[in-house]
Amino acid sequence: MADQNDDSINKFKVGKDSVVIGNVSFNADIGDGCVIIGATDAYDNTIINTPMAVGRGAFAGPGSIAIGAGAGAGSDIIFVLHQLNDIIQNTNDPELIKSFSTFISSLQSPKPDKSKLTKLWDGIKVAATLNGAISLTSKVANFLATL
């Protein structure tokens, strides 16, 4: 048995785009795109009650929780954003990918800043339209108009 002061105890390797939440105390190699959720309180309960999207390509609308690769929750716009994300990721354009990621993060804020969203969206819309996402960008634009 290993000594409690041994640096190898409770260490694990986490793969690309993986998420580990809570108390996870085991030695493991966590693969790419995995979501591991351990206990989040002192009684070994896992409590998730904050709106969030966790996992590669996950999207969640306000007040929603989506967990896992490609998970979506909250509204039909989530599906559209997921499709748009796929197109944007396939462009391999780092600036466009970063702008879209910032847009999604801003959209998930409890009180989204509409002017910031509009500015980000204008840049995304032009680039995404050029990459075959015309119908998706119009659906997102209609959604933003309701904010």
In a domain, 38, yes or no: yes
Residue 29 lies in a domain: yes
- For residue 34, give its domain range: 1-47
Q: Do both 97 and 33 map to the same domain?
A: no
59, part of any domain: no
Shared domain for 111 and 77, answered yes or no, is: yes
Q: Is 52 domain-assigned?
A: no
Same domain, 88 and 126: yes
Q: What is the pLDDT along the chain (147 residues), one digit of tens a residue?
A: 344 445 545 567 888 888 888 888 777 788 888 888 888 888 989 888 888 888 877 777 778 888 887 777 876 777 788 888 888 888 888 988 999 999 988 887 778 888 999 998 888 887 766 666 766 777 787 778 777
Contact 125, 88 (CB under 8 A): no
Would you say residue 60 lies in a domain?
A: no
Residues 73 and 138 in one domain: yes
* Number of folded domains that form the chain: 2
- Whether 54 maps to a domain, the answer reads no
In a domain, 137, yes or no: yes
The torsion region of residue 57 among left (phi > 0), alpha (psi -120 to 50) and beta comes to left
- Tell me if 78 is assigned to some domain: yes
Domain shared by 77 and 108, yes or no: yes
Same domain as 127, residue 91: yes
